[in-house]
Each structure stands twice: as C-alpha cells, then as structure tokens.
Amino acid sequence: MDTTAAARRDSSATTTTTTSNGIGVRFVSHEVKRDHRDLEILYKAILHSIEEGDAQAAAQLQSRFAWDLARHLAALQLFIFPGTEKRANAGSEIARRRRGDLSKIRDELLTFVHLRPLSEEFSISIGELGETLREHIKDIETQDLVAIEKNLDSDESERMAWDWVRTCSFVPGLPRRRSRACTEGEMDGKGSAEEDVGVNNPRGAPFGTVDEMLKAPIEELQKALAELP
C-alpha cells in the first residue's frame, strides 16, 4: 500500500541512531501494538469506572486516556503515515481514507476530553470513541503494520521503534520510557490511574493541553520530537 514507501523514505528525517545494545531487535510494529493494548486497557477501565459510578476514577482515566491517545495519534503522523496529507490531496484513495480515520478519532477525542465524567454525554462519547478506535486498531494491525515491516529492514524498524518510544515525553509527568511503561505500574487493580496528570498541566511537556497536541501540524510535532532530550 502507498503508506509504506513514504514511511521508509521519510523515516530517516525523524528517527535517531539509537540501538538496542544487543538486547534484540525491537520492531516499530511491536511498539504500535503495545500502545493499542494499553489504550484498550484504559478504555475498559473507563467503562468499569462508569459501571461503578466512580467519578474520581473516571476523571483520572479520562485525562490519562486522552493524553495517551493524543500521543499515539501524533506518533502515527510522525512515523507511520508521513506524507498522508500530501498523498491524499494528490488523489490517493488509501491516503484519503486514512486521513479520514485519523480525523474522526481526533474529533471524537477533542469532544470526549472536555465532558463531565459520568454524565450521559461522557458515556455516549467514550462508547463511540471506543468503536472508532476498535476499527482503527484492526486496520492498522492487519494492513498498515504488515506492509510497513515488509518495506523496512530490521535496523530501520528498530530506529523507528526507539523514536516511537521517545514520544512518551509528549505526555506530561511521564519520563521517556518504553511504550507499555507509559501506563504500566501507574494503575491500581481496577485500572484507575494513581496520579491524574491533568489535561491542562504541562509540567515540562512540549504541549500544554491535549487540544494543543491534537491540533499541532506535522512540522510542530517534528520540532517537538527533535527538541526532546
């Protein structure tokens, strides 16, 4: 598919030369899938908080889910779909469809992040967002990632994987860690976040709010990545 050639060609402009120190090759597809599993866990935890009527947990999870999904979308733009906008404007049907998918998730997340936890609108919004995300994950894992790994050698995929992990620093209060560690160890037994990072609490992150990250053009995302330690 037409996303692969651009991903391979453009990745050299955004990826680093970090290696895995002999631990073994880590592929970018593995990191994307780890993100997917983390988002699924957070989504289920939000549903659980609604069932339990726990407004505090719902608010904490709303914030965490919004930041993590916004970061995930930013990473997709940086590494998996570079040039999507340009190819869509040039007439690529696949690129237009993918642009539409990302735009739909972005718009639904922009709505969800500002809703009052446990309100009727909150429950409806997370349900709709969950369905949209489910279809998105299926398409990415069965189509895009398969095609991309076929077009990247192990070194290219590993460099992209390490840079994917660096985007964890886009989330306030989280050090640069492996993607699963972005959520691992910070959830209680029900999946509730022990610390609410807050939608409007930058704490040194390049974007002060979820809205800012979601609305940032690709050039701004690239600059933010380049300025990370």
Domain of residue 71, CATH code: 1.20.120
Residue 24 lies in a domain: no
Q: Residue 194: is its pLDDT beyond 60?
A: no
Mean pLDDT for all residues in the chain: 77
pLDDT at residue number 96: 72
pLDDT at residue number 84: 52
Residue 129 lies in a domain: yes
Q: Rounded to a whole number, what is the largest CA-CA distance in the chain?
A: 51
Q: Residue 183: is its pLDDT beyond 70?
A: no
Count: domains in the chain: 1
Q: Residue 211: is its pLDDT beyond 70?
A: yes
Domain hosting 35: range is: 29-226
Q: Indicate the DSSP class of residue 17.
A: -
Taking the C-alpha atoms of residue 110 and residue 69, their distance in angstroms, rounded to an integer, is: 11
Instruction: For residue 65, count CB atoms less than 10 angstroms from its CB and return exposed for 0-12, middle for 13-18, buried for 19 or more.
Output: buried
| Cβ neighbours around 10 below 10 Å, total | 15
Residue 53 lies in a domain: yes
Taking the C-alpha atoms of residue 47 and residue 103, their distance in angstroms, rounded to an integer, is: 24
Q: E strands along the chain, which residues?
A: none
Both tokens of residue 192? Answer: 């509730």
Residue 185 lies in a domain: yes
Query: Could you read off the pLDDT of 5-63 as tens digits, one per residue?
Result: 444 434 444 444 344 333 445 688 999 999 999 999 999 999 999 999 999 999 999 99
Residue 6 lies in a domain: no
Query: Could you read off the pLDDT of 22-31 as tens digits, one per residue?
Result: 344 568 899 9
Residue 9 lies in a domain: no
Residue 101 lies in a domain: yes
Residue 158 lies in a domain: yes
Q: Residue 167: is its pLDDT beyond 60?
A: yes
Name the more confident of 229 and 75.
75
pLDDT at residue number 92: 61
